[in-house]
Structure 1
């Protein structure tokens, strides 16, 4: 097994999007379990889904900033915008969801969380 090649995403944006997708999947699974087996009702689901999207963009921005090594807020912010647009596009194509105040709020939260994560990621690399 010494000759097995290691696959590594070298692009900061690609690795950040992949990390954000993993965190989104984990958050969606936890929300589904809480909705099914917990005492959470469906009325509070939009707030918790916004928190999950923010956490996913934060983690993706962190990875993107750490990979880039410079301008973490820039790479994280762009990653947050790309993540938000991908989520909006998926929602539009899968559920015919339109653009409203909630979707624009999610886009703004994802961009801000991604930029913050990128700032943390750049500073984590130097230590």
Structure 2
């Protein structure tokens, strides 16, 4: 069983990774949109792909840090990230998720779960103690 402290730390690492990657890519795209003739609608697909990659990476980091139950860790990471975005949108802008956003955040959570599973498997799973 994964202990609560390790679980919480792993999930926070995952969410921090997602937010850091989102901030970096937002900065890059804001520069591109400001200093070139590129239109936002022409890079929407690229932004969506990078968003999914960021969430996958967050789940991967979380799973690698937790070393077990990657789907639970990744799911918790995706849910916490979605909750943070929802609270920002609701408290900051007074609006709920649209149906389209809800579908995206469900898919983000599933993607983080897949990242968590892969992170656990690449990290080698639970530590094996040899006596």
Q: TM-score, normalised by structure 1?
A: 0.79
Which residue, 69, 72, 80 being the options, matches 2:70? 72
How far apart, CA to CA, are the structure 2 residues paired with 1:108 and 1:64? 18
Give me the CA root mean square deviation: 2.3
Q: Which 5+ residue runs of structure 1 have no aligned equivalent?
A: 1-8
Q: TM-score, normalised by structure 2?
A: 0.77
Which residue, 18, 34, 47 being the options, matches 2:32? 34
CA distances 1:2-30 after superposition (whole Å, capped 9, x unpaired): xxxxxxx9511111111111111112112
**Contact 1:77 1:115 survives alignment (8 Å):** yes
- Runs of 4+ in structure 1 over 4 Å off: 44-49
Which residue, 107, 110, 113 being the options, matches 1:109? 107
Which residue in the other structure is 1:6 paired with?
none
Q: Which 5+ residue runs of structure 2 have no aligned equivalent?
A: 126-131
